[in-house]
Homo-oligomer: A and B are copies of this chain.
Amino acid sequence: MSTTRREFIASTGKAVVAGGLITLAENNQTDMADNKFIHHVYFWLKNPESKEDKAKLIAGLKKLAAVKTISWFHIGQPANTHREVIDSSYSISWCLMFNNDADQASYQTDPIHLKFIDECSSLWSKVTVYDSVDAK
């Protein structure tokens, strides 16, 4: 949200700028650059019980994280939460943030990304992606 940061600065009266991040110290809430692009990928492994395949995918994602246009990343697995609306059937979550659309587009064709797909795509049976930009 383009207005969120201002609202929170206004409500807390305090903001610390550090490397492009805004840290709102009083309630520990943070907001990053405007026009954030969140690229959230969920992988379903072909062999979800295989610790080896899971480790291979995690290792591949760690290498993929070297793509320069990624501003933040998180490699996750399903949390121990179980409500009807929660989909915990996936194996690995790959959450990326970019500072703008162009950085995300560049990531898609980055040689490191293409190498990751080449090396790791045999591990998964399904991928679902949700791309989000600031709501207007």
Chain A residues at the B interface, C-beta cutoff of 8 Å = 1, 4, 7-8, 16, 18-21, 23-25, 27-32, 36-38, 40, 42, 54, 58, 62, 65, 68, 70-81, 83, 85-88, 90, 92-93, 95, 99, 101, 104, 127-136
A58 adjacent to B28 (CB under 8 Å): no
| A96-B128 Cα distance, complex, nearest whole Å | 19
- 9 intermolecular pairs with C-beta atoms under 8 Å apart: A19-B28, A28-B71, A29-B70, A29-B71, A29-B72, A38-B93, A76-B134, A77-B136, A88-B130
For residue A119, give the distance in angstroms from its CB to the closest CB of chain B.
18
* Nearest B-chain residue to A86, judged by Cβ: B129
User: Which residues of the partner chain B approach A27 to less than 8 Å between Cβ atoms?
Assistant: 68
B19 adjacent to A16 (CB under 8 Å): yes
Extra inter-chain contacts (14) besides given A1-B62, A16-B19, A28-B68, CB under 8 Å: A4-B75, A18-B18, A19-B28, A20-B23, A29-B72, A38-B74, A58-B135, A76-B135, A77-B135, A78-B132, A79-B104, A80-B133, A87-B129, A88-B131
For residue A83, give the distance in angstroms from its CB to the closest CB of chain B.
7
User: Which residues of the partner chain B approach A77 to less than 8 Å between Cβ atoms?
Assistant: 132-136
* Nearest B-chain residue to A71, judged by Cβ: B28
